[in-house]
Structures are given as C-alpha cells and as structure tokens.
C-alpha cells in the first residue's frame, strides 16, 4: 500500500491534485491511499503522532500560515526517505527545493503530462529503495534491503556485510561476484576489499571514504580519481 499526502490550503486545488494522483496511480494498478491536509503544521503533527510514514508528499510552497520549504525542512528532520514533490505558482524557490532533496517541482496550473512524469519518477525511486538480496550462510537465510547496507568487506573468500543496524552478516563469496548480484549503481568498489553504499558517504578525504558513524574505508590509489568522479556524478543525479 502506497501512502500519499497532499498539503494545500486551497480546497479546490487540493481536490484537483488528489484527482490527478488517483487517475495516474490507478492506471499503474498500484494500491494506494491519500490523506489531505489544509495546512503544513497539520501535516507535521500527523506525521509526528502516527506510525505510518508517507511514501510521497505533494506540498504547496505558498500557504497562508506557512511556507512549504520550511515544512519540508521539518519533515526532513525525522523522515529522510519520503519523496517530496513541490507544487507552486512560481519558480522562486526552485533552488531551495534542492536543500530538502525534493524530487520534483510542478508549476501551477498543473500540466497533466508533467504530473504523470513526477508520479512515475517517485514510484521508480521507491522501487529502487525496495530492492533486496537474499544471503545464505550456515546460520540461515537473510532478506536484506539494499538501503540497509553500509558497506561490504572481503577477507579471503568471505564477505562481511555491515548493516545500518550494526549487524554484520558473513557469507562465502568473492567481492566482485557480490557487487554483480546487487546490480545497483549506488554501490561502488573502492578497494579490492571494500564495496561502499554511496548513500552513506559523509566525505572523501585524502585516500579514505568516511561513512555513517565516521567509519573510515581506504580507497586504492589507482581508483581515487575514478571513485571521486563516480561519487560526484551520483550526487548530481540523486540529490
């Protein structure tokens, strides 16, 4: 079930946006539900007090009691994953939208074709985030989502998979075979013994990558320029 929020202080536009969403997602044969909000703080309060996160949020930038950009900043404090799509009457805040990692920026009056593009792009991104692999070792089998992998380290013929939860899963494989299994551009081999999830890179400094919790991972000298270039292009594409 895909959870979608729409926030706009104009009731007629709120209905119009909801109708656009329903029409587009019904055509894609995806189960969904929509919750509407007339004000940004109502949306924030709902998200703070309910366990269900929204997958996609359509957010008007200009509202009487609040600015959509500020509401998006508040959302990002506790939800880094939801896809934010701004709907607005002006290009004025287009640059600000990058700061909150907005996925798309739709101008009013709404163009049906651009709206469909935004919906499809959001669903593509959500599908990427739901990618997973199944790992088997002597202890059992594990379904692991790509987004939960920080990095992989190879020792001899063993791969140690380091997860966000701090859990480490060890299994038999060559590192090169493992990255082929992932088939995901967010993973990069930075050293003969290390694969890193670029979503968690904090910085590249000297010959090291620093990821969440300031774990330091070496970059092999011959790969340094290529790693920096690959990471830079990844940032341009997805942030």
Q: Which residues contact 226 (CB under 8 A, 6 or more apart)?
A: none
pLDDT classification of 112: cutoffs 50, 70, 90: confident
**What distance in Å separates the CA atoms of residue 30 and residue 26, rounded to the nearest whole number?**
6
pLDDT classification of 178: cutoffs 50, 70, 90: very high
pLDDT digits (tens, 9 = 90+) for 8-41: 998 999 999 999 999 999 888 888 999 999 999 9
**What distance in Å separates the CA atoms of residue 172 and residue 160, rounded to the nearest whole number?**
9
Whether omega before 84 lies within 30 degrees of 0, making that bond cis, reads: no
pLDDT digits (tens, 9 = 90+) for 60-110: 988 876 788 899 999 988 887 899 999 887 666 555 556 778 888 888 888
Structure-token pair, residue 109: 């009056």
Domains of the chain, first to last? 2-129 (3.40.50.2300), 132-238 (2.40.50.1020)
């Amino acid at each position: 079930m895909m959870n979608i929020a729409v926030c706009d202080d104009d009731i007629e536009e709120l209905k119009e946006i909801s109708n656009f969403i329903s029409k587009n997602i019904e055509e894609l044969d995806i189960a969904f539900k929509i919750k509407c909000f007339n004000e940004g703080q109502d949306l924030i309060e709902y998200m703070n007090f309910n366990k269900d996160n929204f997958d996609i949020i359509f957010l008007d930038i200009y509202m009487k009691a609040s600015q959509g950009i500020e509401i998006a900043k508040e959302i990002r404090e506790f939800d880094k994953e939801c896809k934010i799509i701004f709907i607005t009457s002006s290009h004025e805040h287009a640059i600000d939208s990058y700061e909150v990692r907005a996925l798309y920026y739709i101008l009013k009056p709404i163009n049906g074709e651009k709206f469909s593009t935004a919906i499809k792009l959001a669903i593509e991104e959500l599908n990427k985030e739901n990618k997973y692999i199944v790992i088997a070792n002597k202890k059992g089998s594990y379904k692991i989502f790509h987004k939960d992998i920080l990095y992989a380290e190879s020792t001899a013929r063993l791969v140690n998979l380091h997860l966000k939860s701090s859990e480490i899963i060890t299994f038999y494989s060559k590192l090169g075979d493992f990255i082929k299994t992932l088939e995901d551009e967010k993973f990069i081999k930075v050293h003969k013994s290390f694969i890193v999830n670029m979503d968690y890179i904090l910085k590249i400094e000297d010959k090291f990558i620093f990821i969440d919790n300031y774990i330091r991972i070496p970059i092999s000298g011959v790969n340094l320029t290529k790693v920096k270039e690959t990471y830079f292009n990844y940032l341009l594409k997805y942030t």
